[in-house]
Amino acid sequence: MIGMGESRKQVGVLGLGRMGAALAGALLEAGHDVVVWNRSPLKAGPLLDRGARLAATPEEAASAEVVISCLSTYDAQRPVLAAASPKVLVNLTSGTPAQAREVASWASAEGIEYVDGVIMAVPQGIGTPQSRILYGGSRAAFDAQREVLSVLGEPVFLGEDAGLPALHDLALLGIMWSTMAGYLHALALVGTEGVTPSTFTPMALSWLSAVSGFLPGIGEQVASGDYATDVSALDINAAGLGLLVETSRERGIGTSVPSAVKELFDRAVAAGHGSHAIASVIEEIR
């Protein structure tokens, strides 16, 4: 709930999918005056029971002090924002850096204070200490709305480039998706010998903890461009990937996950990085 020194604000929420509803719910829980809009008004029912007000149009919701947009896509969002014309807009719709910058440019031309954000949490995590939201755009607008934004999760401001949150979001999700794909391939592989996920997962978690310790060193090598190593050369790792692909094929499971990484490593070796560290693969990615 709103505490001493904090102010109750009227917040408009556009979009009541799982995430939009979670955002509105957290704002209500904190004691803010929340007005919601959704193409299907029926989705607003549970929020209305908790004290939210239903706007008949996006424009009505946009009369709030600050408007949070969380729609399915930028294409779906475009006509809604054009109709709404809010004074202060916090855009939490997922998209690309280019799309975020396009909306920022439109907002600037319309005299709208604009903050772009990406949510690094699932709907169930909104409003908890585990929730983090990355922001970019107007620093003044971000600072002015910090109390409201803090209700949703830890607010992290990356800079005045509105495209930075989406860029970081996709980069971080890329790590997550690659890790999950590798883990699922591992489960399929050990599963061919009857090893269960409950048996294997603790070992995987311990291994991932150790692997995460390599990242700062890899980052330093990328920053310096010096890929010399006396630890583990790229050609050795490429050969190891070959063994993983071969074993996967022998065990009758798909090889698409390790084959993709092997193809990348092989290209880097062919380009002359065989004796270099794994960090040198970034030259092929670039």
Query: Model-level pTM?
Result: 0.92
Q: How far is the C-alpha of 56 from the C-alpha of 65, rounded, in Å?
A: 17
Pairing of strands 113-119, 132-137: antiparallel
Question: For 232, phi and psi rounded to 5 degrees?
Answer: -150, 105
> Nearest-5° angle of CA 52, CA 94, CA 181?
120
One digit per residue, the tens of pLDDT, for the chain of length 286 reads 665 456 889 999 999 999 999 999 999 999 999 999 999 999 999 999 999 999 999 999 999 999 999 999 999 999 999 999 899 999 999 999 999 999 999 999 999 999 999 999 999 999 999 999 999 999 999 999 999 999 999 999 999 999 999 999 999 999 999 999 999 999 999 999 999 999 999 999 999 999 999 999 999 999 999 999 999 999 999 999 999 999 999 999 999 999 999 999 999 999 999 999 999 999 999 9
Domains and CATH numbers, the chain: 10-163 (3.40.50.720), 168-285 (1.10.1040.10)
